[in-house]
Amino acid sequence: MEKNLKIKTPDKHTIYGTLRLPDKGKAKTLVVHVHGLTGSPNEHFHYNGARYFTKRGLASFRFGLYFDAPGARQLQECGISTHAKDLNTVLKFFRKKYKKIFVIGHSLGAATVLSSDLSFLDGIILWDGTKSIRGPKRKDFVYSKKLDAYILDWRMQTIMSKKMYKEWAEFPLPKDATKNLTKPLKVIVAGVGRLIDAGKDYYRSAKGPKEFATIKGAGHTFNEDGTEEKLFAETYSFVKKYSK
């Protein structure tokens, strides 16, 4: 069963999301999906993942960090801190409704999760989490004086705020981003992706219970045959273990 929810933010925006519940019984554990940059809550691994988890007795909530609907945020107005605050709002909304809450962060969603208030959650799963863009200037990020924003050129052009660029550049390196983390962490990397080393650093630096997995043959968005199912299985085993 699915319910479309609208959650108000403290600054009077609206978060649009979909809560999916098991067909039988009441779930005690909620899995929250946080998408990456230019992503959406309806990307195949979030959409299908919600169904995978609810078939196994978990509830899932996937929401848009920006959305085409009244009162929703727009990407060009957001930074990582904006996303983290909205995730906090979501977690506060659900905290008393579930015994355990686990949060999945895909790509830039990893930075969103790690920048949020971790006291609201019980475990973190990073799906091929991204890293800081500090370092040499990237050719795919072009500043436009006319727009006073960055144009992100990833097969199609997207407007990204200066705030997002600045906060992404200032986001800690993976080895520093998890060095004080004591919550259970599972890092899952794409086997043919570019973020394996970043994932290993996230994993090594974490201080609490932790697991690491590689999905062989998978690219960053887990489109390859069979990789999505392996991603879900690795995620579910971790959630089940730490839901007890």
pLDDT tens, residue by residue, 205-227: 999 999 999 999 999 999 999 99
Q: CB atoms < 10 A from the CB of 178, how many? A: 26
pLDDT at 62 over 90: yes
SS3 115: coil
pLDDT at 138 over 90: no
Q: Is 176:114 a contact under the CB 8 Å cutoff? A: no
Q: Report the share of the chain in percent with pLDDT over 90.
A: 93
pLDDT at 15 over 90: yes
Give the Cα separation of 217 and 208 in Å (integer): 29
Name the more confident of 154 and 55.
55
DSSP string, 172-232: PPHHHHTTT--S-EEEEEETTSS-HHHHHHHHHH--SSEEEEEETT--TT--STTHHHHHH
Q: What is the pLDDT of residue 201?
A: 99
Q: Are strands 156-160 and 100-106 parallel, antiparallel or unpaired?
A: unpaired
Average pLDDT for the chain: 97
- Extract the tokens encoding 220: 């960053």
Domain boundaries, the chain: 2-134+171-242
pLDDT at 139 over 90: no
Q: What is the pLDDT of residue 72?
A: 98
Superfamily (CATH H level) for 2-134+171-242: Alpha/Beta hydrolase fold, catalytic domain (3.40.50.1820)
Could you tell me which residues are beta bridge partners of residue 162?
Answer: none
- Extract the tokens encoding 93: 């909304």
Name the band, by pLDDT with cuts 50, 70 and 90, for residue 244.
confident
Please return the burial class of 192, using the count of CB atoms within 10 Å of its CB with bins 0-12, 13-18 and 19+: middle
pLDDT tens, residue by residue, 73-130: 999 999 999 999 999 999 999 999 999 999 999 999 999 999 999 999 999 999 999 9
Q: What integer is the mean pLDDT of 134-150?
A: 89
Q: What is the pLDDT of residue 96?
A: 96
pLDDT at 137 over 90: no
Element housing 125 (H / E): strand 123-127
First-to-last C-alpha distance (Å) of the chain = 24
CA 10 to chain centre: 21
